[in-house]
Copies of this chain bind each other. A is one copy, B any other.
Amino acid sequence: MSTTSREIRLASRPVGLPVDENFELVEVSLPDITDGELLVRNTWMSVDPYMRGRMIDRKSYVPPFQIGQPLEGHAVGKVIASNNDKFAEGDLVLSMMGWREAFVSNGEGLQKLETFGLPEQAFLGVAGMPGLTAWGGLLQIGQPKEGETVFVSGAAGAVGSLVCQIAKIKGCKVVGSAGSKEKCDWLKSVGVDEVINYKDHKTQGDLIRALKSAAPEGVDVYFENVGGDHLVAALEAMNVNGRIVVCGLISGYNDTEPTPGPWNLFNVIGKSLRMEGFVVTKFLDQTPQFTKDLGEWFMAGKIQSQETVEEGIENAPSAFLKLFSGGNKGKMLVKL
């Protein structure tokens, strides 16, 4: 019995914003499983901004995607058949195989999923890598104290929206920036104190004024997802001993020319700022504490998650591209 799977391959390396031609939808025939192997059919796959970096051929913390090979990323799937005694038919598994409908595995790198009553796709978002990113980045790198002001760019995204809500739980004032009135309204509805629709503030000076007006007391923690003008504005608005958690710089991911960094980096000295980048793997060993915190907050109704869903593997590239045009509210998912 042969199983087919469709997968998205990297056809060519994008220059600037990726286009359809950089991706290729291919149907493959999967081999029958042998001893120790299992067959998984993905139910949900994730597209995330960091994948843009993997499309570039450079040395980084994860190896680049290879041309002609399927793209990879987190996915949730169901075990269809198993000759591996660690997995049984019907098990849910989390994998890093990504952009494909089904795959054969020897079990390596697969994690059996206990959902604890959460929807399975939550493990690609709030209960998964973006959740751990938000939790670890904000709490351990940002170290917000009660009463402090936290500014979050990309606040309506998968990571940003969770950062906002965790900061509220910790007793902070939260200022969030997003790219539409609808997103800003949603942020208000989950408790964000002040919102900035950055598309209403086209110039750098405008954004600086908007942030200073939203946080006249100054910003103590800036959770950076965006870069560019947002970083400049934050550097202007930061308080002494402020912390800048550098999670993402999405505004520059599709740049074809090196884009200049902030002209006002000197604030790092005068204001004694700490600016710290990280990769989510830093917090992997703290997953139990993250899961415990998140579970409690969920049960107490303190966290709301939001999803934007595209259907079908053939729409994975366009789902991915929407990350860069602001087409997602909360976690961007592809339902397979």
Contacts and interface: CB of A to CB of B under 8 A. Distances in A.
Main secondary structure of the interface of A (DSSP, over half): loop
A211 interface: no
B247 A269 contact: yes
Contacts of A275: 268, 274-276
A52 to B, nearest CB: 11
Given A258-B263, A260-B260, A261-B261, A272 B278 contact: yes
A180 B100 CA distance: 58
A279 B272 contact: yes
Interface string A271-284: 11111111100100
Contact of A270 (B61, B262, B271): B61
A282 B272 CA distance: 9
Contact of A263 (B260, B277, B279): B260
Nearest to A279: B272
B282 A277 contact: no
Contacts of A53: 270
A169 interface: no
A259 interface: yes
Q: How many copies does the complex hold?
A: 2
Contacts of A248: 269
Contacts of A69: none
A261 B258 contact: no
A273 B272 contact: no
A240 interface: yes
A265 interface: yes
Interface string A236-272: 0000100000111100100000111111111111111
Q: Determine which residue in A258, A262, A269 has the highest number of CB atoms from chain B within 10 A of its CB, and name it.
A: A269
A269 B225 CA distance: 11
Contact of A61 (B240, B268, B278): B240
A189 interface: no
A60 interface: yes
B258 A264 contact: yes
11 contacts: A227-B266, A246-B268, A252-B266, A260-B260, A262-B265, A268-B276, A272-B278, A272-B279, A272-B282, A274-B276, A275-B276
Interface of A: 53, 60-61, 227, 240, 246-249, 252, 258-279, 282
Given A61-B270, A267-B277, A269-B277, 4 more contacts: A61-B271, A259-B263, A260-B261, A269-B279
